[in-house]
């Protein structure tokens, strides 16, 4: 515990003093890493997520893939806002200032958003969401224009829209609480990975907490910077995905909007992530170690 405590504190001090340009580039990479992991996890599990009887197993399959995002961040090196909420620990020790912490958070959060948004748009433009296999559709389904939808449709595209719509459908307090649970686990993974002695140890201590939060359906602000925009972009370029999501999957597509993304999901989830990681991990361990000299 003591080694982890000191290493996390030292890491926070280094992050506070890192040049802005480095923080921005590493933040872009982090947003992209999580987006790549999100795309892979959706591809692996979309058919399972579409059916109630296999939904839980689909979550587990997606959760087995998604940890690669944080593994890339931790081992390849990048700046992730949610992990940086642990900077509340050196702040409590008075090793860094409030200004330097918020400087880091602001730059990294913005870069994470740009990186994730860019990957979301590129994924939709790549055509991946329209690739086979296709599902057979009810003949009565029509596009918003009134034209027939066709005989076949992309379930992958529909599940992408469904995931985004579900995240936009939470009440503010629900998203906030799910954000707390999520980053509690994420920052425990970061805390343990910092003190791991080798690469295999880092991978193992990251995998299980991240797998747990994805399986449980908790909310991660940076991951949602990919999952929701990719659904919004997909709905814009492929309105048939919205029809399939609503009529075949039963998704609350009425909730899918940029307003709900920013105000009803990203804002409360970000606040919850700060509490979950910064307070329940960073400040909790600062409190029990407060008598130690740093």
Question: Is residue 140 in a domain?
Answer: no
CA 105 to chain CA centroid, Å, is: 16
Tell me the average pLDDT of the chain.
95
Mean pLDDT computed over 86-107: 98
Question: Is residue 130 in a domain?
Answer: no
Domain that holds residue 81: 2-124+155-288
Question: Is residue 46 in a domain?
Answer: yes
Checking phi first, is residue 82 left (phi over 0); if not, alpha (psi -120 to 50) or beta?
A: alpha
pLDDT of the residue at 293: 55
Q: Is pLDDT larger for residue 237 or for residue 152?
A: 237
Q: How many domains does the chain have?
A: 1
Question: Is residue 227 in a domain?
Answer: yes
Tell me if 124 sits within 8 A of 191, measured CB to CB. Answer: no
pLDDT of 223 above 60 = yes
pTM across the whole model: 0.95
Question: Is residue 199 in a domain?
Answer: yes
Question: Is residue 186 in a domain?
Answer: yes
Q: pLDDT tens digits, residue range 267-286?
A: 999 999 999 999 999 999 99
The CATH number covering residue 184 comes to 1.20.1080.10
d(CA 214, CA 218): 6
Q: pLDDT tens digits, residue range 184-203?
A: 999 999 999 998 989 999 99
pLDDT of the residue at 1: 46
Tell me if 150 sits within 8 A of 165, measured CB to CB. Answer: no
135's enclosing H/E stretch is strand 135-136
């Amino acid at each position: 515990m003591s080694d982890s405590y000191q290493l996390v504190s030292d890491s926070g001090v280094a992050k506070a003093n890192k040049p802005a340009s480095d923080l921005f580039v590493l933040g872009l990479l982090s947003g992209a890493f999580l987006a790549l992991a999100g795309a892979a996890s959706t591809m692996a599990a979309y058919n399972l997520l579409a059916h109630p009887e296999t939904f839980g197993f689909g979550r587990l399959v997606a959760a087995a893939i998604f940890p690669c995002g944080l593994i890339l961040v931790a081992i390849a090196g990048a700046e992730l806002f949610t992990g940086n909420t642990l900077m509340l620990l050196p702040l409590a020790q008075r090793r860094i200032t409030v200004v330097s912490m918020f400087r880091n958070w602001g730059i990294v959060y913005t870069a994470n958003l740009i990186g994730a948004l860019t990957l979301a748009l590129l994924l939709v433009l790549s055509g991946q969401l329209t690739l086979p296999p296709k599902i057979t559709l009810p003949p009565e389904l029509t596009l918003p224009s009134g034209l027939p939808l066709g005989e076949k449709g992309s379930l992958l595209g529909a599940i992408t829209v469904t995931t985004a719509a579900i995240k936009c459908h939470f009440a503010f307090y629900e998203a906030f609480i799910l954000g707390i649970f999520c980053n509690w686990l994420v920052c425990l993974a970061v805390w343990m990975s910092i003190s791991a002695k080798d690469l295999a140890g880092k991978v193992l201590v990251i995998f299980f907490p991240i797998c747990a939060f994805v399986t449980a359906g908790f909310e991660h602000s940076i991951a949602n910077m990919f999952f929701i925009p990719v659904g919004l972009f997909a709905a814009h370029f492929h309105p048939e995905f919205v029809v399939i999501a609503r009529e075949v999957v039963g998704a609350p597509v009425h909730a899918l909007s940029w307003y709900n993304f920013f105000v009803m999901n990203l804002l409360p989830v970000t606040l919850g992530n700060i509490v979950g990681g910064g307070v329940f991990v960073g400040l909790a361990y600062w409190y029990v170690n407060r008598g130690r000299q740093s």
